Structure formats: structure tokens, C-alpha cells
Chains A and B, each alone.
Chain A
Amino acid sequence: MQSIIRTIRDGSGFDILLLGFALVYLVTFSAFPIIYNIVMSLQTVDMFTIASFSRPFVGLQNYYNILSQPIASLVFWNTVKFVVLSIVFQLSIGFGLALFFNQDFPGATYLRGLFLAGWIMPALVVGAIWKWLLAGDFGVINHILMSLGITEGRIFWLSDPDIALYAVIIANVWLGIPFNMILLSVGLASIPRDVYEAAELDGAGPFERFRSITLPLMRAQLGAVISLGIIFTLQQFDLIAALTQGGPADSSNVAQYWSWQLSFQTYEISLGSAVSVMMILFVIVVAAIYVRSTRHEHSY
């Protein structure tokens, strides 16, 4: 007993103790739910069997059922559009702002700080505000577009099936810009000024410096921001719940929201699990790319 206490206090016992806490936490709250979810996606789970572990094993039947649903391909392509467009605009606008605030002008740091406002707001609140902004009959955005003569009539952002998805994407881009900007700002600030000066003396103009110095040196940060952005976009739920609930007629439904609907609205729990398992597999691939991209970090 004495010796156990001693190793915990002075020896390797302390390391094992710390490691143990982390491991217990990870197994209980991460590994177990994921594995349980995978198991459920291979069983028939509904309201009657949810409480017991012994449920009929159906193999990949749930995956077959989910993929053969008529809305599966609609949801798939909506998800692709949602992720790709969100990332493209978050990244380009965020990078643009980061480059802008990296210039030396009075108040640059304070203005950049203001952009964090978007980041600290709960997505549900952001969704509620965007719902007002985008409202077809009294929304500010329609009012401005019509006052400026850009559009003739009202656009029903959230209830027009052709537009609803894009309205959600616009709100999500707004929500994601601060994250992109801050992370990329940090990367830009770490590139020494004299490297740019050396390039300038070597004959590189502003565009050439961006292309051959900034972009390659930002590779690690860009990789991180893109992969984290994909992950955040795939877990974006609140905004959709607040704005369109996937509607009208599933026109703005995406995988993560569909999985939630299946599990918690129609109680087809095993189908919801199957959707989430497919998303997990995709996220693992993205996470692997992220881990790889951090290897390209440069030391100066």
C-alpha cells in the first residue's frame, strides 16, 4: 500500500493515473457511443427495442434501406452543395479578410476583434436573426435588394424550394467566416516580414508574392481550416433547425439533419444510425487529411 502511494506521488504511477483519467473519459464518452452507434446501424432498432441490447441483427439492411429511399440522393447532393459552397465562401472571404487585416493600418487589431462577435453567438440565435433578415414579406434583405433595384419582387428565401438551401448556406458562410479569418490571420502573422522583403528584392510583385510565398507557407493552416471547416459544416444542425427544418419538402435537408429526423422524429433509429455512421467514415478521412497537413508546418 505504502509503495503504491509512493509511485503515484513520485514515480511513473502519476503518469499512469493521468493517462487513466483521459482513457476512461475517451472510452466512456467517445469510443463507446461511436461503437454503440455502429452496432445499432446493423440492427433493427425502434421504440420497442431501444431499451434492450438484444435486437435482431440485420447486417447491412439498414444501409440498403436508407440508400434506396427516394430522398437519399436529394439529401446527398444537398449535403455536397452545403459543404462545398460553405467552405469555398467561408475560406475565400475569411482569407481575404485575414490578408486585409494583416496590413498595417490603424485599428486593424480592434476591427479584427469585432469579427469574433459572429463566432461567440450561438448558432440557434444566429439562425433566428437570419430568419428575420431573410423573411419573404418583412425581411431586411428583400427590402434592400428591392430598394436598390437589384430584384423586382420579393424573394421567398426560406420557403422557395429552389432557394432555401442557398439561404441556409449564406447564413452558414457568415457564421464560419470569423473562424477562418482568425486561424488564417495567425498563420499570416507568423510569416516573417523579411521573407516578403527578400522576395520583393528578388523581383516578385504582390500577386507573385502571394502565389509563391504566402500560399505555400500557409499550406498547413489552409489544410487545417478546410478540414475543420468540413467537420463543422457537417455538424451544423442548429442553423438548419432555426431556419428551414430541412424544408420545404426536403429541399434544404442535409445528411446531419436527416439523421436527426430519422432518429428523433420518426424514430427509425437504426436508419438514423446508418446515416451517421456513413458521415463518421467521411469525417475520419477528412481528419486524416488534417493530421497530415499539420506535418507541412514550417519553422522559420
Chain B
Amino acid sequence: MLQIEIDRLNKHYAGFHALKDINIAIPRGSFVALVGPSGCGKSTLLRTLAGLEKTSSGDIRIAGTSVIGKPPRERDVAMVFQSYALYPHMDVEHNMNYSMRLKRRPKPEIAERTRAAAETLGLGSLLDRLPKALSGGQRQRVAMGRAIVRNPKVFLFDEPLSNLDAALRVHMRSEIRKLHERLKATSVYVTHDQVEAMTMADHIVVMRAGVVEQQGSPLDLYDKPANKFVAGFIGSPAMNFIPAIVSPDGHSLTIEGDAATMLVLDRKLAPGARLWAGLRPEHLSLTPVAGSLAIDAVVASVESTGSMTFIMVAVGAQQLVVAHSGRPGVEKGGAVRLHISPRNIHLFDRETELAVSG
């Protein structure tokens, strides 16, 4: 059962094509993240779902009915804003139940639903406070409470955690996820932080310059990125890309500018093809595993976070990052041999940047 269907949606601002042929289908009860760098159109897409922006062509259906041309209040969607957008002159209680008061719900129902939402979010003792007397995290909760009491068809989140400090952000991430599992409400969550998207969402839509680059489950995007952009965007630290050429027999790769390194592939490719080889830092290991390939490198620098060590290495003229869990005991200027399993090598066409499979 699809709760949101976005069908060949286009949006033009004056002379600017902000959203290009967007197609997204969101099943009821799922948590979808829209990610991409700033200016990719993810917030615009969210605002068109809310009805705050007009569309140029295409269709949006919520619970089966087209909402094109309908004002926000007829769409039954709730939104949590980046700035929280609380009503400054109303206390927490009135911020949360404004929508029910507008609908003239019976007083006992308003009180009961406000109380329930406040309890869920741990706001019970703050009901008579004005927003200015709340901390950032508390304001964020009130903004969520305002959405929860409405019990809407769809929740929209516009970078709701970006104004919080790092620790609180991680905490709220799991809170929102837990809340979603409890309420089972269809949610669309905009973020520029791929870690947020990976940890919270069932389904991720990666956008760039108004185009959906790829969508799928978090691990699908991680394991099978459709193009170089998605490969570089998903995963932290970002994937290493090195220019490579397929050998004449089509079974191995040489790194451009470093003929010494030969990577034998597990698939056959067009001989002489010029590609990007994508190697995730966490797939490069200092110890050999069964069937792994070896790359000789020189350590350029070492950064340790205690649990993780990031080793910057040079392979010929190419720079690579290696993520090593633990303390590897390598030193700047020393030689290391890196190992990678052939199935962990991602390949992308140099021209189209699309993934190349054998």
C-alpha cells in the first residue's frame, strides 16, 4: 500500500529547473530519507509535498488522492521545521494543540491528546513554558509534539537535527527512530548528513541538482552504488577513487601512472576501458584475506581517533585513505601492503560515471 506517490514531478523557478522528473513511491509506514548536498532540491521536494511550494508538472498522491493544487491544510501532513518554527507567543501546550483548537475538537480530547504527546516526548513538566524559555533540544521536541498530536497521514522532517549539538543529535536520531517504530507513521526526512540517513531510514533517496541519482535501502546504496556520486556520498570516510585502465585481456586493472600495481578482477570488462576504481577506506586492510589483492603504498600520514585509525597513503601519484579499526603500528614514511577483496572494488565509467559491472 503506497502512502505517497511522486510521479514525474517537475518544478521550475524563474528560469531554474529545481526538480527534474522525480519519481518516488513510498509505502505506508516507511521512513524515507532525502539526502544530497545543499542546493540539490531535497528541501524543495519536501516543501512541494507539504504544499508550501507549487509544482510545474507531474503528480503527487497522498493515500491515493492527488494533492496537486490543494493548500497545505487540506493535505493532512505535519512538518517539523529546521528552525522548529514554534509560535513564540504560545506556551508548549498551546503550541502542540493549536491544530486541534483550530478544528474545534472537544476540550477533553484536546487535553488528552496533548498530554499523551507530551508524555511520549518527555515534555510533561514544560507545558506552561514559552518557547524562549526552552533549550534547543526541548524546542525540537515541541516541534515534534506539534506534529504527533495531529496524527497526520505523513510526517515531514526538514533537517530537524541540524541546529543541535553533536551529542544531542545522535541521541535525537535514535529517539526519532524509536518514535517512528512506535507510531508507524509514514515519514519523509530531509538531511544533508548521510550518516543520519543511513541510520534512520528504511529507504534512501539520493539527490543531486534536482535529479534522483539513486534510491533504495541503505545497504543497497552502500553495496551497489549506481554511480560515482552516490558511491562518494554514501559512506564515511568517503570512497577512494583512482583512475584505472582495463588490461588488454579484460581481466585486470592497472592504476593510471603506476604500472606496477595490477589488480586482478573477478569479472571480465571491455579491454582498454578507462574507469574509476572505487575502494572504500574500510575495505582496505593491512592483513591479507583469502583471495585478496595486494597494493603497495607509502604512508603519508596517520590520524587516530583511539578506536579507529585513518591512514593516508600514496600509491604512485594517487592518494588513498585507509580506515583501520584499532592501532596498526604504522609510521609516516613507512611502506605498507594493502589488501582488498576483488568483489569490493567498485568500477565506474570515466565519462558517464555510471557503475560498470562485468
A interface residues with partner B (beta carbon < 8 Å): 192, 194-195, 197-205, 208, 212-213, 216-217, 219, 298-300
Contacts and interface: CB of A to CB of B under 8 A. Distances in A.
A216 B90 CA distance: 9
A200 B85 contact: no
B87 A200 contact: no
Q: Which 4 A-B residue pairings sit nearest by Cβ, starting from the closest?
A: A194-B85, A202-B99, A198-B85, A298-B88
B132 interface: yes
Contact of A194 (B78, B83, B89): B83
Contacts of B52: 197, 200-201
Interface in B113-158: 132, 146, 150
Nearest to B88: A298
Given A195-B87, A213-B87, A298-B88, A208 B81 contact: no
Contacts of B89: 216-217, 219, 298
B85 A195 contact: yes
Given A197-B85, A204-B98, A205-B73, 5 more contacts: A195-B86, A198-B146, A201-B51, A203-B73, A204-B73
B81 A202 contact: no
B322 interface: no
B103 A203 contact: yes
Contacts of A195: 85-88
B132 A299 contact: yes
B79 interface: yes
B27 interface: no
B117 to A, nearest CB: 14
Contacts of A204: 73, 98, 102
B255 interface: no
Given A195-B88, A298-B88, A299-B88, A202 B150 contact: yes
B253 interface: no
Contact of A192 (B73, B83, B102): B83
B72 interface: yes
B71 A200 contact: yes
Contact of B87 (A199, A201, A208, A299): A199
Nearest to A205: B73
Interface string B65-77: 0000001110001
A199 B73 CA distance: 9
Nearest to B98: A202
A201 B83 CA distance: 15
Given A195-B87, A195-B88, A298-B132, A203 B81 contact: no
Nearest to B81: A194
Given A203-B73, A299-B132, A198 B102 contact: no
A14 to B, nearest CB: 35
